[in-house]
Amino acid sequence: MSDTGALVYVVDDDPFARDGVADLIRSAGLMARTFALGEEFLAASRREMPACAVLDMKLPGMSGLDLQRELAKSRLRIPIIFLTGYADIPMTVRAVKAGAANFLTKPFEDEELLDAIRQCVTFDRKEEIRSETSFGPIVGNSSALKHVLQLVETVAPSDSTVLLLGETGTGKELIARAIHDLSARRSRAVVKLNCAAIPFDLLESELFGHEKGAFTGAIAQKLGRFELADKGTLFLDEVGDIPPALQPKLLRVLQEQEFERLGSGRSHKVDVRLIAATHRDLTEMIKRNEFRADLYYRLNVFPIQVPPLRERREDIVPLMMHYVDVYARRMGKQIEHIAPETVAAFTSYDWPGNIRELQNLIERAVLLSNDGVFPNPLPPSQPKSATLFPRHETLEEAERTHILKVLEDTNWVLAGTSGAAARLGMKRSTLQFRMRKLGLFRPRPPVRFEPRDSRVSWDAAV
């Protein structure tokens, strides 16, 4: 893999689309090589293997699905991201079940494709600092993390439902992926859905699908996540945000392994292993009649508590070095010096945003780095071991406080590498949905943004 960035293959017979995707990939600091046909892809030199491939589903001659089969036969483990249209849904289902890394429906947002590529590149990177056990991109060797990974090894071979509990940003999605990768379903797809990011009126369709004409705007049949995950694993993140009206239908599919699409009376049988995650206290929600007790018992077959970063401080330095390496490579920079004072500040900070906060701060620091020196991105006035929100706040209040602070710090700019969405580690559309739910609206006149220079002089190295 080149020092300037991972290599991504792009296969599309449309030259405009092909070049557009390649330019987008290069703008993110990665390398791109393009092909018009699947046959050209297979005939290409293998001196440098790509980190992933972006394929159009419908290609002249050898289709994207045919190309995927040929790669599997040749035992080339290249993660594949399919680009597809609504009419390609049945073919997409076959591709996902055959192990495609991801698929995007046209038209898609640029950041959606880049996110999918980054996931493949991160998983593929050989230089990652890994845990002593073979758990892919999970970084760390603390006793708290080892305990979690022991539970993962215990439950992974079964088909039991797993409930991942813990604060936001602790890496619950990586734990879910590790469970899938160690299971008998690892050759099948793992399908993900963040229940908090989907508006209520669309969530049922996302989970169970709909028939053409089921409601206004349903111009084509749509397969839900349960159907796409058949014979594989479904990861439902933020399951505590599923509205009460939809919970009985989720309970039924967990009990009976069958469901109906919206607008259809025909039941569909599925074989899905469910992994759910939440940062909420579901037992307290049951007391407030916000979450069904029977659904909780069905989800809570094998709970795993994912520790916050402040409870696994031994992992902070390995995580720090890992993300410094990732972002330095992505931005084409070389970090040679990290002051001991910076490392001490990182290890003593409480990280209320957990790994996601650490990752975003390191990205900012690498952007600000000069002459190979890594600046301390933590606020200079931040007292040691301080938390950003008072302990008596509810999780929703704390979330609102944190999002509001980031919005004010970024002058209410949502998009871009320095925008609020990037700093919070979420997509712009997800942030907009959370803002509406939490009642956050841009003030008029807008708040003036006065950036603080967090860079200082560093003369020591680790």
Domains of the chain by residue range: 7-124, 143-307, 310-438
Dist CA 150 CA 131 (whole Å): 12
Give the H or E element holding residue 338: strand 337-338
CATH 3.40.50.2300 fits 7-124, yes or no: yes
Predicted confidence at residue 129, as pLDDT, reads: 31
Dist CA 296 CA 290 (whole Å): 11
Phi/psi for 252 (5° steps) reads -65, -45
Predicted confidence at residue 94, as pLDDT, reads: 60
Predicted confidence at residue 49, as pLDDT, reads: 76
Predicted confidence at residue 126, as pLDDT, reads: 36
**What CATH number is given for 310-438 in this structure?**
1.10.8.60
Half-sphere exposure of 456 (CA within 13 A, CB side): 13
- The DSSP symbol for 370 reads B
Dist CA 80 CA 10 (whole Å): 10
Length of the chain: 462
Predicted confidence at residue 231, as pLDDT, reads: 92
Predicted confidence at residue 318, as pLDDT, reads: 86
Model pLDDT for residues 181-239, shown as the tens digit of each residue = 999 998 888 899 999 988 887 888 889 888 887 777 777 888 888 988 899 999 999 99
**What CATH number is given for 143-307 in this structure?**
3.40.50.300
- Are β-strands 273-278 and 267-269 bridged in parallel, bridged antiparallel, or unpaired? unpaired
Phi/psi for 50 (5° steps) reads -75, 150
- For the four alpha carbons of 280, 286, 291 and 295, in that order, the dihedral sign comes to positive
Predicted confidence at residue 453, as pLDDT, reads: 45
Predicted confidence at residue 178, as pLDDT, reads: 93
Matching CATH topology for 7-124 and 143-307? Answer: yes
Model pLDDT for residues 254-311, shown as the tens digit of each residue = 999 898 888 887 888 999 999 999 999 999 999 999 999 999 999 999 999 999 999 9
Residues of the chain with pLDDT under 50: 1-4, 87-89, 124-134, 381-392, 445-462
Predicted confidence at residue 305, as pLDDT, reads: 97
Q: What is the DSSP string of 36-88?
A: SSHHHHHHS--SS--SEEEEES--SSS-HHHHHHHHHHTT----EEEEE-GGG
